Amino acid sequence: EVQLVESGGGLVKPGGSLRLSCAASGFTFSNYIMSWVRQAPGKGLEWVSSTSSSSSYIYYADSVKGRFTISRDNAKNSLYLQMNSLRAEDTAVYYCARGGYCTGTICPMDVWGQGTTVTVSS
């Protein structure tokens, strides 16, 4: 079964750091573009970051650039998001998602994890 499982969320104070993980199974992880997407409470979806299969290209939303770092370990079938200098507005459910049906460098997201909740509050 194709599956993504996020972990690492929690409560953190403003200015703090957190590292999210996403464990992939059921597919050849190293072949796929992977992304993080977040959803603030009661709000819509916001793309955060994406990395190509070999990490040769990485992109970030302006809202997190310079504070968040996406990375992957293809040997461990895992995707990560290091989040530093966290702000209250980073409070959200964070989803990892696989890029499927690819015909270029940006792909629709065809498999999603269940999400992990990050709360930034003092």
Partner 1 sequence: EIVLTQSPATLSLSPGERATLSCRASQSVSSYLAWYQQKPGQAPRLLIYDASNRATGIPTRFSGSGSGTDFTLTISSLEPEDFAVYYCQHRSNWPITFGQGTRLEIK
Q: Contact with partner 1 (CB under 8 A): which of 23, 27, 112, 117? A: 112
Cβ proximity to partner 1: between 86 and 93 the closer is 93
Candidate residues 101, 117, 120, 122; the one interacting with partner 1 per rule CB under 8 A: 101
SS3 29: helix
Of 109, 116, 118, 120, which one interacts with partner 1 (CB under 8 A)? 109
Q: 3-class SS at 96? A: strand
89 phi/psi in degrees, rounded to 5: -75, -5
DSSP assigned state of 100:
-
Q: By C-alpha distance, which of 20, 9, 2 is closest to 78?
A: 20
User: Site residues (CB under 8 A) for partner 1?
Assistant: 35, 37, 44-47, 50, 59, 61-62, 95, 100-101, 103-104, 106-110, 112-115
